[in-house]
Structure 1
Amino acid sequence: MSSPLHQSAALGALSLPNRIIMAPLGRARSDHDNRQPLPRVRTYYEQRASAGLIISEATHVSAESVSRPGGSAIHDDAQVEAWKPVTKAVHDAGGRIFQQLFHLGRKAHSSRLPGNALPVAPSAIAAVGEVPTADGLQPFPVPRALSRDEIAQRVNDFRLAVRNSGRAGFDGVEIHGANGYLIDQFLRDGSNQRDDDYGGSVENRARFLLEIVDGAIAELGAARVGVRISPHFAVDGISDSDPVALYSHVARELQARAIAYLHLIEPDAIAPQKRLAPRLRELFKGALILAGEFDQDSAQRAIEQGRADFVAFGRLFIANPDLVARFRQRAALNSADEASFYVGGDQGYIDYPFLQDLRSKQPLTA
């Protein structure tokens, strides 16, 4: 009997050959000036096409959302054209790929924004910590609170990015509602202290996410839309007073929209009594992807126990382009070179050895 990780399963409009998902991984290998993926990006994703589903690196939906040099974007025609060879290469290799879409919100820095503008957020509350800039680490700036009309424009930015993802050949999109970025900033009451219909109650704070999801559904259909959330994330000071109520409401509303999947960052190390996956699975009947430092054995247990339908792997996919084959054969894994995670060219990006390459170099025995 095959491992649950290697069993096929449906995810929205797709039939996946296994339950091993490549997590979104920002590797900063796109062009520094126009944020178009370079040829090495095509190779990187093509190498990993055996994953049940690839979720691309977080991709900016507008010029107002700008991260480190080399981050990618999908808000203009040139970027769309540059992504087409990437999706074609993945499809030609037998794979499937969604594009993750995001907006940094308050986690951007004025030095990288057009006109050195202030970053935007639901409320004028700075993230805690520092952001890398050309002049070294700088404190996160106090952002400018969006007006209601400006919120509508950001919703539209996401919708246009979804349309561009479809034009570029992606099989679907993942709306990045996690990790303290703009959507997450609206969701949580520690960063959202508005007194209009985008703040206050759980229903109001979830409105921004749900309007973005509705726009994505209008463009691609519900079966090609996923959402990522991170209830346990608190690195930059983001917080919520009642995460169970918040994410229960989100799960119910996403179920009503029948989207393809909910992607939950909930490490296996989270104590069972603090896990939200059991509650969210009661409310959301689509596919549930779990992520958070899983290894092969813990991922298999999560699926066997019914905690998830799929498990996403990040660091393991960085160092092991053939992770699916290595799991199947219980083979040794390459170690990741952390120094090259976010900087550099091909090294530490597309030069990790495949299992077959290692075996071909082994000396013959008598």
Structure 2
Amino acid sequence: MTDAPDIPVRVRPEVAALPPYKQGRQAGAEAFKLSSNENPFDPLPGVLERLRAATALNRYPDASATRLRERLAERFGVGVDAVHIGAGSVSILAQLVQATCGPGDELVYAWRSFEAYPWLAVVAGATAVHVPLGGGARHDLDAMAEAITERTRAVIVCSPNNPTGPIVTQAEFDAFVERVPSDVLVILDEAYAEFVTAPDAVNGLREPGGPRRPNVVVLRTFSKAYGLAGLRVGYAVGHPRVLDAARSTAIPLSVTAHAEEAALASLEAEAELLERVREIAGRRDRLAAALRDAGWSIPDAQGNFVWLPSGDETLTFASAFEEAGLIVRPFAGDGIRISVGEEGSVDKVLRIATSVVMDLPEGHPGRRLA
């Protein structure tokens, strides 16, 4: 245990050294918040009506969100026990890591990817094994397969990759899973699946019956495409006994009745919601194309965000965006993730991005123009 003088109790050294999760900055009334990959649209009126009708705040929610599990099980052609609901897909991810990894074990993932992955390993007492992204800021699945050892207990594949944007193809994922030992958990994190337009992208729930292999679990969320980030509800589809292990590590009653009700209402209004998703995807493609025309070399964007590989200039450039009323998400030394927000934000993003790109030195990987 650590004896750090600024902590009044004995804390595990690796936890004491771990920085807390850093949320995307909030924005003032005059700024656009483009830092957290939120859906810029308000919930549909029908969803809000269902929330207002759910007034039993003095009662605990259904601990397993049975109605939502039943609805999703019917959709994906699986049994109810093959669906697990959590307070956002990241909470299920934490449960799966806690269930599979402990001291001496390894968790493998691509890097840079979702910033929660490293601390999930640390909290579990496991070793984080991050495999550098390959060309085009994409997962290097061959290198990830080679990184698996006898100590590996779980592997995370994020498609589209947050924060860089590219997908893993179905063929790549299938070939990768063939190389993973059958007793190693493969977590396919598809938090942004609804925004994907690439026809060859992996889709862990493309066929009835859920994942083909029992060691694969697919994660999805209602936070992004369905616009319920403030209610925290996500789900997993996989082998019932694997999900039982996740359920055993979950904090009881963490999914509220309001979250379940809003998710059910959103599924009923899915056609209208997905029209909004298509609008965001179109806005994303226009933004990505304009950024390339402005001189940026950016990777394929398949989520609801774009990635500027600004390297050492990241914090300086992020300050320029902030001064213009654009709250973006900088990753020091790597790049800037910009969520696709309101239509009114697009021209402002392009104006600042165009003004700073020529400050990158010639030959910089983020710059298209010499």
Instruction: Specify if TM > 0.5.
Output: no
Q: TM-score, normalised by structure 2?
A: 0.31
Q: TM-score, normalised by structure 1?
A: 0.31
